[in-house]
Amino acid sequence: MIRFCVFVAFLLFLVASPVSAGFYPNASSIPPDLHHPTDSAWNAFLNLTGCHAGMKVNGLYKIKQYFQHFGYIPQTLSGKFTDDFDDLLKNAVEMYQRNFKLNITGELDELTLNHVVIPRCGVPDVVNGTSTMLNGGRRRTYEVSFSGRSQRFHAVKRYSFFPGAPRWPERRRNLTYAFEPRNALAEEVKNVFSRAFVRWAEVIPLTFRRVESFETSDISIGFYTGNHGDGEPFDGFMGTLAHAFSPPNGHLHLDSDEDWIVSGEGGDGVLSERAAVDLESVAVHEIGHLLGLGHSSVQDSIMYPTLTTGRRKVDLHSDDVEGVQYLYGSNPNFNGSRTPTPSTYQRDTGDFGAAGRIYGSSFVLTCLLMSTVGLLLLY
Ligand SMILES: [Zn+2]
Ligand SMILES: [Zn+2]
């Protein structure tokens, strides 16, 4: 009997210590004693505050790698950077400051570094030396159709596209999506993506339908950790949160090392001060990439590259709407207003586990099964 109790306790310990993604109904359900093995590696960049051209400081090579990852330093240069604050770094810092509308000092000042360390999307802001975020920023006239009525506007457009402005072809306007079966995601988690797809479908004449076949769906969604086979490894807790590829690739990947909040309550706002990430906010952003949008320098737009932890930003901004309608035209039913759609889904708090984590039942079963044979080889 004692042996049995020890065995059960061992199983419970294993189940309560998963290495898979952490999903929580809301920020307050994250255990206060939850410690991550490391803080975001990017936090070390704050030690570089005050660095400027001509200096040589330990660790500067790492921030060059950061800027190279997001396109501010050409990919063609080898990753073997020095710790010198050279012209390469100065140019990168200036372009970054321009993109994010910071004071263009060319130095790693406090404001700039405070922005550098904010968790963000892994898709580059600069492609082949050209910033996708500024889009010229020219004031121009463009036409937007609301319910069949065309209106002309004068405004500065900030939305952007991938090089060549790829989009889903005319014959593929009813898209399917599926989830990585090895994630064994709970319905609550899958529903977050359903809601995110609806936000885009409301403004363009595309539909998104969930299917089971991960291999044949147009869009495939999965949570992965570290290197996962596409040359864009995730970096653990915080830092890069997710990435997605341009049409018609259809791959949307999220970092399973984050603490994801799936509550989906209300519209935009502050959820908590905890270092947790609102899943729907990230999903809406990455679907924008799947549809062909690049990053925007409009801070309130969905396609802005960074997402402050504890923030929820799910409502499409006019910049997002205009960008995606440029690619696909307007949904005939879109009336120009972008009201949140909380009534289109239901919350079910009854299925959350004691620790607040959410699993699919097959995940728990797998965990139990694997622990009995002494294996914990979760993906
Ligand atoms: Zn992005
Ligand atoms: Zn990936």
If one compares 322 and 373, the residue with the highest pLDDT of the two is 322
Q: What is the pLDDT of residue 377?
A: 38
Query: Which ligand does the CA of 283 lie closest to?
Result: 1
C-alpha 228 to ligand 2 mean position (Å): 6
- Who's near 246: CB < 8 A, 6+ residues apart? 162, 166, 289, 290, 292
Residue 207 has pLDDT above 90, yes or no: yes
Instruction: Return the active site residues.
Output: 286
Residue 129 banded pLDDT, cuts 50, 70, 90: confident
**In residues, how long is the chain?**
379
The pLDDT assigned to 95 comes to 96
Mean pLDDT of 11-16: 36
**Considering the chain, what is the average pLDDT of its residues?**
81
16 contact partners, CB below 8 Å, separation of at least 6: 355
Give the β-pairing of 259-261 and 277-278.
parallel
Give ion ligand 1 contacts, CB < 5 A. Answer: 121, 123
Q: What is the pLDDT of residues 164-185, one digit of tens each?
A: 999 999 999 999 999 999 999 9
pLDDT band, very low/low/confident/very high, at 330 (cuts 50, 70, 90): very high
Residue 123 alpha carbon to ligand 1 centre in Å = 5
Asked whether residue 94 carries a pLDDT value surpassing 60, the answer given is yes
pLDDT digits (tens, 9 = 90+) for 279-323: 999 999 999 999 999 999 999 999 999 998 888 999 999 999 999
* Beta-carbon contacts of residue 369 (< 8 Å; ≥ 6 apart): none
Task: Determine the distance separating the centroid of ligand 1 and the alpha carbon of 79, expressed in angstroms.
Answer: 23
β-strand partners of 224:
255
Alpha helices per DSSP H over the chain? 2-16, 60-69, 87-99, 110-116, 187-201, 279-291, 318-328, 361-372
Share of the chain above pLDDT 90, in %: 61
With a cut of 70, say whether residue 374 has pLDDT above it: no
348 or 370: which carries more pLDDT confidence? 370
- With a cut of 80, say whether residue 125 has pLDDT above it: yes
Q: What is the CA radius of gyration of the chain?
A: 22
Give pLDDT tens digits for 39-78: 778 999 999 999 999 999 999 999 999 999 999 999 888 7
Please report which ligand is nearest the Cα atom of 281.
1
Q: Which of 4-8, 209-213, 293-297 has the lowest mean pLDDT?
A: 4-8
Domains in the chain: ranges and CATH? 41-118 (1.10.101), 166-351 (3.40.390.10)
Ligand 2 center from residue 200 Cα (angstroms): 22
**Cα 73 to averaged position of ligand 1 atoms, centre (Å):** 18
Q: Summarize the annotated binding site for Zn(2+) as residue ranges.
A: 121, 228, 230, 243, 253, 285, 289, 295, 303
Query: Which pLDDT score is estimated for 17?
Result: 32
Binding-site residues, please? 121, 218, 228, 230, 235-236, 243, 253, 255, 258, 285, 289, 295, 303
